[in-house]
Amino acid sequence: MLAGTVRPVTNRSAELFTRAKQVIPGGVNSPVRAFSSVGGEPLFIREASGAILTDADGRDYVDYVGSWGPMILGHAHPAVVQAVQEAAARGTSYGAPTEGEVELAELIAELVPSMEVSRLVSSGTEATMAAIRLARGVTQRDLVVKCIGGYHGGADYLLVRAGSGAATLGAPDSAGVPSAIAETTRLVPYNDLEAVSALFRDQGDKIAAVIVEPVAGNMGCVPPNERWLAGLRTLTSDAGALLVFDEVMTGFRVALGGAQERYGVQPDLTCLGKIVGGGLPVGAYGGRREIMDHVAPVGPVYQAGTLSGNPLAVAAGLTTLRILREPGTYDRLEAIAAQVEDAAREALSGASFPWTVQRVGAMLTVFFHSGSESGSVRERSGSTDSRSVRGWDDADRCDRDRFARWHQSLLAHGVYWPPSQFEAAFVSLAHDGSALARTAEAMRAAM
């Protein structure tokens, strides 16, 4: 049913939220879902298909959260649903190796050649935790470098000046992280190669790894400037530190081979999540054999997981990646995402307030801020934007209240945009003409 259709005034989401807050912290199982930075209360979702979510009251929305990235094929893709159903009928978990895990590791190595050897885990957080432990084990060094506004999941030493939900809540440093742990983390601004270079001059022999989102998505979508990734590659190689690409969000999203394919820079380790599980819990980390042979049971770096390589999750991930590697897929995805960007730019073109739209492939953010003079190149058109959001300092100057009002208006007009200025919106292959038309109309109405 189209958004805004007159229906009995029920508010099942509100009723469920009231109940949820009695038994779940903040009523949600992940903070950013709480809508706390955009006002109002979260919608409880009953079902989804293609690009459309249906809430507990039966209202439909064009979905740009996409489960925060995994649903690149669209929701309830028939082939994925069938694969999961067939896997479930054979048992849901064995705690023993399966053929599917071998096939998925082989496919990951084919699509992301730097991941010659990989280990499956159950979330992006586990993948980044394991990658950092591995880098520390391989280098026998302790320090980890991350970007201000970078988000890599919930590991203590990575929840320092974090983005995503931490930034959304205005709590980039989590309580409960011992100072001794936080002190092993060094912070640099995203896209600031001089800052990283100075850090390496000063402490390079103590740095185990640099972990970076090759396209930042957790301060909003911030592309790497032209020197950033190659510069990090050189600095880490020269210092004997490992370069870790956190491609949990960018993997299979900005290109079939992820950001490392798009920008032509190979890391030592890559972390995957989201799309690799097709909407079920899968993460992965991997790299060259000489590094991965340090992982137990081959080497001394321990990492384990009861549900790692779960057969249902592997079935969903395998099916998803096999569909994504079909010829022409990313051309279609680029065309769809470009239409979403164009709709936003057209709707905002007459705005009296500063704004900028930044997109890389099928992830984008509308920033309610003019950005900074940077001369950066806009990913899609190749034209030079006189202003852009280059890192956290720029993103942090966004008008959060204006974003909140814009988000609320989109929601009222049937478009479900990520409920945070510091998140990326995700486009799927299922965002068809009807969804795009509804999106353009809602964006015009939001002005």
Among positions 74, 137, 149, 165, the unique one binding ligand KE4 when judged by CB under 6 A: 165
Determine if 218 is a binding residue for ligand KE4 (CB under 6 A).
Answer: yes
Single out the catalytic residue among 151, 157, 263, 330: 151
Shortest distance in whole angstroms from residue 185 CB to ligand KE4: 15
The residue (of 13 and 218) whose beta carbon lies closer to ligand KE4 is 218
Determine if 32 is a binding residue for ligand KE4 (CB under 6 A).
Answer: yes
Determine if 153 is a binding residue for ligand KE4 (CB under 6 A).
Answer: yes
Phi and psi at residue 367, in whole multiples of 5°? -95, 130
Restricting to residues 112-141, which ones interact with ligand KE4 according to CB under 6 A? 123-125, 128
Restricting to residues 376-435, which ones interact with ligand KE4 according to CB under 6 A? 423
Contact stretch for ligand KE4 (CB under 6 A) within 54-62, 225-233, 245-253, 365-373 = 245-253
Single out the catalytic residue among 274, 285, 394, 416: 274
Contact stretch for ligand KE4 (CB under 6 A) within 99-107, 138-146, 147-155, 390-398 = 147-155
Structure tokens at 312: 């249902």
Amino acid found at 127: A
The residue (of 51 and 121) whose beta carbon lies closer to ligand KE4 is 121
Closest CA to 210 of 189, 184, 236: 236
| Separation of alpha carbons 141 and 401, rounded Å | 43
DSSP 8-state class, residue 385:
P
How many residues bind to ligand KE4 according to rule CB under 6 A?
Answer: 20
Cα 396 to chain centroid distance, Å, stands at 19
Q: How far is CA 142 from CA 54, 172, 190, 209, 348, in A?
A: 47, 22, 21, 9, 46
The residue (of 218 and 225) whose beta carbon lies closer to ligand KE4 is 218
| Separation of alpha carbons 219 and 108, rounded Å | 27
Shortest distance in whole angstroms from residue 246 CB to ligand KE4: 5
The secondary structure of the chain in percent helix, strand, coil, rounded to multiples of 5, reads 40, 15, 45
The residue (of 67 and 203) whose beta carbon lies closer to ligand KE4 is 67
Give catalytic status of residue 274 as yes or no. yes
Determine if 249 is a binding residue for ligand KE4 (CB under 6 A).
Answer: yes
Strands 372-373 and 387-388: antiparallel
Contact stretch for ligand KE4 (CB under 6 A) within 151-159, 193-201, 233-241, 399-407 = 151-159
Give catalytic status of residue 206 as yes or no. no
Restricting to residues 58-87, which ones interact with ligand KE4 according to CB under 6 A? 68
Give catalytic status of residue 246 as yes or no. yes
- 423 close to 64: Cβ distance less than 8 angstroms: no
Task: For Cα atoms 300, 302, 304, give the angle at the middle one, nearest 5 degrees.
Answer: 150
Contact stretch for ligand KE4 (CB under 6 A) within 19-27, 199-207, 244-252, 428-436 = 244-252
The residue (of 50 and 217) whose beta carbon lies closer to ligand KE4 is 217
- Which residues lie across from 245 on neighbouring strands? 212, 270
- 419 close to 365: Cβ distance less than 8 angstroms: no
- 314 close to 100: Cβ distance less than 8 angstroms: yes
Q: How far is CA 35 from CA 16, 159, 315, 417, in A?
A: 15, 21, 32, 11
What three-state secondary structure class fits 98?
coil
Concatenating the DSSP letter of every residue in 289-320 gives HHHHTTBTTTSSB----TTTT-HHHHHHHHHH
Contact stretch for ligand KE4 (CB under 6 A) within 149-157, 174-182, 357-365, 380-388 = 149-157
Determine if 37 is a binding residue for ligand KE4 (CB under 6 A).
Answer: no
CB contact set of 56 (below 8 Å; sequence gap of 6+):
12, 13, 16, 43, 44, 45, 46
Shortest distance in whole angstroms from residue 210 CB to ligand KE4: 14
Among positions 63, 192, 213, 379, the unique one binding ligand KE4 when judged by CB under 6 A: 213
Shortest distance in whole angstroms from residue 442 CB to ligand KE4: 22
| Separation of alpha carbons 282 and 434, rounded Å | 31
Q: How far is CA 332 from CA 73, 319, 345, 372, 433, in A?
A: 12, 19, 20, 32, 13
For residue 297, say if its preceding peptide bond is cis, omega within 30 degrees of 0.
Answer: yes
Shortest distance in whole angstroms from residue 433 CB to ligand KE4: 28
The residue (of 128 and 339) whose beta carbon lies closer to ligand KE4 is 128
Among positions 243, 248, 275, 415, the unique one binding ligand KE4 when judged by CB under 6 A: 248
The residue (of 51 and 162) whose beta carbon lies closer to ligand KE4 is 162
Single out the catalytic residue among 55, 192, 246, 394: 246
The residue (of 414 and 418) whose beta carbon lies closer to ligand KE4 is 418
Among positions 30, 82, 92, 384, the unique one binding ligand KE4 when judged by CB under 6 A: 30
Catalytic sites, residue numbers: 151, 246, 274
Interface with ligand KE4 (CB under 6 A): 30, 32, 68, 123-125, 128, 151-153, 164-165, 213, 217-218, 246, 248-249, 273, 423
